[in-house]
Structure 1
Amino acid sequence: MNALLTGVIFLIAFTATGKSIDCVTCYSTDGTDCSGEVTTCDEDQTFCRTLTSEIRKDGVASNQVYKYCGGDEQPHWIYREESLTTFFQLEIQNCETDKCNEEPAQLTPGANTPNGVKCMHCFQDYSEDCNSEETIECIGDMNKCLFVSGNVCNNGELAFDGTSFNACAVRHCTNIASADLHPFYGEVATGIIQKIEISEGINDA
C-alpha cells in the first residue's frame, strides 16, 4: 500500500494550451512538502493543486506529496480507509493565486471517535474474495464498508504501483458513499481491479 500515491500520480493527466497562473510543480515520497520549479500553467489550468497521502501502518506514518497545475473544478477532496493495522488518507487541495501551493501540505485530521458502524474485516492474498467473523469498528467520517478485489497486491499489501501485481481481496472501513468515488475506480474498466463495493455495514446506533 506504500506505493498507492504513485499509482494516483500516473493516473493524472492534463493538457496544454496557453497561460494562466504560476504553480509550484514537484513530487516527493518523503513528507508533506517538496521543492521544484514554478511552472506557468496552461490557460485551462486555473488551480494550483496539492495531492497528499498519509499511510499509518502499525503506528508508523509516512507521507507523499505531489504539487501541480489543475485544470478541472474538482473540489477539495478527501479519501480515507482503515483496517485494524493500516490507515490511509488521500487529499486534494486547490488554490487560485500564483505559487499558492508552495507551502507544506496540511492534511485534514479526521475524528477518532467511533461512529457506531462496524464492517467485516479481512484480507486474503491470492484470492478474489475474503470473509471473516472479525469486524472493525469504524471511526469519524468512515461510516461505510469497502470491498476491493483484483490484481492489486504486492508482498501482502495493496500496491497500485504498476509492478508485481497478484490477486487479493480486502474488506474494511471507508468514507466514500459509492464505488465510483474510489481513487482507482477507473481500474475496474482495465481489469486490474475486479470489483469495488460499498455497503452500509452494521450500525449499532
Structure 2
Amino acid sequence: MNAFLTGVIFLIAFTATGKSIDCVSCSTTNGTDCSGDVTTCADDLTFCQTARTELKKDGVASNQVYKYCGGDEQSNSIYREESFTTFVQVEIQNCETDKCNEEPAQLTPRANTPNGVKCMHCFENYSEDCNSEETIECTGDMNKCLFMSGNICNNGELGVDDTAFNVCALRHCTNIASADLHPRYDEVDTGNIQKIEISEGIKDA
C-alpha cells in the first residue's frame, strides 16, 4: 500500500543568480547522512542545500540524503504525508556559507497529536482513482487531504531501478496547502503523475 512513496526522492530543479559558493556534494539511498567532495558551485547556484527523506513503512524506517549546490528560489521546506501503514517526510534545508551543508542532515520532529481533521483513506493498484468509507485521523501539521494518481507504483511495491511503473491511486493526510508544493508536482507536466489534489479534511463536530 502507498508504494508510490519511494518515488518521493528529490526531483528538484534549481535556478538563481549571484556569487559562487563551495558546497559538499554527496548522496546516500540508505542512511541518515553522507559526506563527499567539496564542489565550487556555478555562479547561478548561490546556496548549499541538503535534502533528506525518511520513509516509515509498517514501522520500518529508510532514509535518503542528498547534498548539493542549489539556487535561492528553492526555500527551506518540509513535506509530510501519512497513511495507516506509511509516513514520509521530505525536508529541504538551505545555507549560505562555504561547506555549510557538511553538517549532519537533520529532520524536524513531527507532532503525533490528533488535530481533529480526518481524510478519506484508500489505495488502489492499477487504477486512476480510489474511494472508501474508511477515514484516517490526521496528526500534527497534516491538516489537509491528498489525492494522487499516476504511474507511481510497481505492482503495489516500491519502484526501483528501471522497472516500469504502473498506475495507482491513493488518498490520505498531508501537510501541504496546495498541489504545487508536492515534491513530485513537476511530474504532472511529464504525464508521470496524472493528478495531485489537495482538499480540506473532514473536521470533527
Is TM-score (shorter-chain normalized) higher than 0.5?
Answer: yes
Please tell me the residue identity of whatever aligns with 2:6.
Answer: A
Letter in 2 for 1:120: M
Tell me, yes or no, if the aligned pair for 2:16 and 2:73 is still in contact at 8 Å.
Answer: no
Supply the distance in 2 between the matched residues of 1:28 and 1:124 (Cα, whole angstroms). Answer: 30
Q: Cα deviation per residue 1:42-76 (whole Å; 9 max; x = unaligned)?
A: 12211110000000011111100000001233221
Q: Per the alignment, do residues 5 and 19 of structure 1 end up closer, same or farther by CA in structure 2, a change over 3 Å counting?
A: same
* Aligned twin of 1:3: 6
How many corresponding residue pairs? 202
**CA deviation vs aligned residue, 1:120-157 (integer Å, no higher than 9, x gap):** 00000001111111110000000000000111111314
Once residues 188 and 161 of structure 1 are traced to their aligned partners in structure 2, the CA distance between those partners, rounded to angstroms, is 21
1:29, 1:51 → 2: CA distance? 12
2 CA distance for matches of 1:160 and 1:51?
A: 20
Q: Partner residue of 2:201?
A: 201
Name whichever of 155-164 and 77-86 sits farther off: 155-164
Equivalent position SS for 1:101: helix
Counterpart CA distance in 2 for 1:15 and 1:193 is 23
SS in structure 1 of the partner of residue 127 of structure 2: coil
User: What SS class does the counterpart of residue 180 from structure 1 fall into?
Assistant: helix
Distance 1:5 1:169, change over 3 A: closer
Q: Which residue in 2 is equivalent to 1:73?
A: 73
TM-score w.r.t. structure 2 length? 0.91
Partner residue, 1:86? 86
Q: Any conservation in 1 of the 2:7–2:152 contact (CA below 8 Å)?
A: no
The reply to whether residue 106 of structure 1 matches residue 109 of structure 2 is no
2:189 alignment partner, SS class = helix
Query: 1:19, 1:41 within 8 Å by CA — same for their partners in 2?
Result: no
Consecutive aligned runs of 4 or more in structure 1 exceeding 2 Å deviation: 1-6, 11-19, 157-163
Q: Tell me, which stretches of 5 or more residues in structure 2 are unaligned? A: none
Is 1:130 the counterpart of 2:133 in the alignment?
Answer: no
Give the aligned CA root-mean-square deviation in angstroms. 2.1
Q: Which amino acid aligns with 1:38?
A: V
Deviates more, 1:41-50 or 1:115-124: 41-50
Q: Are residue 97 (structure 1) and residue 97 (structure 2) matched?
A: yes
Q: Which whole-Å CA distance do the structure 2 matches of 1:159 and 1:117 have between them?
A: 31
Deviations 1:178-201 (A, max 9, x none): 111111112112211111111102
Segments of 5+ residues of structure 1 without an aligned counterpart are none
Distance 2:6 2:129 in 1: 22
Rounded to whole Å, the distance in 2 between the matches of 1:139 and 1:14 is 31
Alpha carbons of structure 1 residues 159 and 81: separation in structure 2 relative to 1, 3 Å: farther
The CA distance in 2 between the partners of 1:153 and 1:12, in whole Å, is 20
Identity value in percent: 78
* Corresponding residue of 1:42: 42
CA distance change for structure 1 residues 37 and 16 in 2, over 3 Å: closer, same or farther? farther
CA distance in 2, matches of 1:132, 1:169: 12
Measured at CA, do residues 106 and 17 of structure 1 come closer, stay the same or move farther in structure 2, by a change above 3 Å?
closer
Aligned-partner SS, 1:54 = strand
